[in-house]
Amino acid sequence: MDNQQTEIRERLQQKINENPNRMLSELAGQLGISEAEAVYYLPDTMRTPAPAEDFESIWQEASRWEKATFIAITPGAVLEYMGKLPSGSHGHGMFNLQQEGIPLGGHLMIKQLGSIWFLSKPHFGKESHSIQFYTKEGKPMFALYVGRGEDKELLPDVLHSYQALRARYEVTAP
């Protein structure tokens, strides 16, 4: 890591220490970097990268979860869906979300996917774990969060599945 990268990482860590609940988009904006770059500079314990080529296998595993939160942010809206994810399939150049009995539908333009990150970072004072999907330009495409129960606590089976999936991509030192 060069001096500029080290400086960015240190500034990001300082901002997290001041307020660990800050949104990534806010942190990235303050540092003048893309949101995906902000994830890259997070402490290693908070993030794990996965190859964009593994999108389908990651999505298929998440579609087995009892409940997830799907979030897509556009310039004019924050869209959230809480429930079971459709398994989806490729067709017409997109990944199509369509499954009987599951209300989430649509089309994901996966050819624009640049990076995937497993992220464990507090959100509004609560433990939070997600899979973040970014464009090749480092902009957010959508995110999948570990589902919560009626008590607003993380669902244990979903958390366990998330942790096992993330562990596949963690690099262990020799």
Evaluate whether 20 touches 141 at the Cβ level (below 8 Å): no
Separation of alpha carbons 67 and 102, rounded Å: 11
pLDDT tier, 122 (very low <50, low <70, confident <90, very high otherwise): confident
Assessment of whether the complete model's pTM goes beyond 0.75? yes
Residue 123 has pLDDT above 90, yes or no: no
Separation of alpha carbons 6 and 119, rounded Å: 20
Residue 106 has pLDDT above 80, yes or no: yes
- Tell me how far CA of residue 156 lies from CA of 64, 89, 149, in angstroms: 14, 28, 9
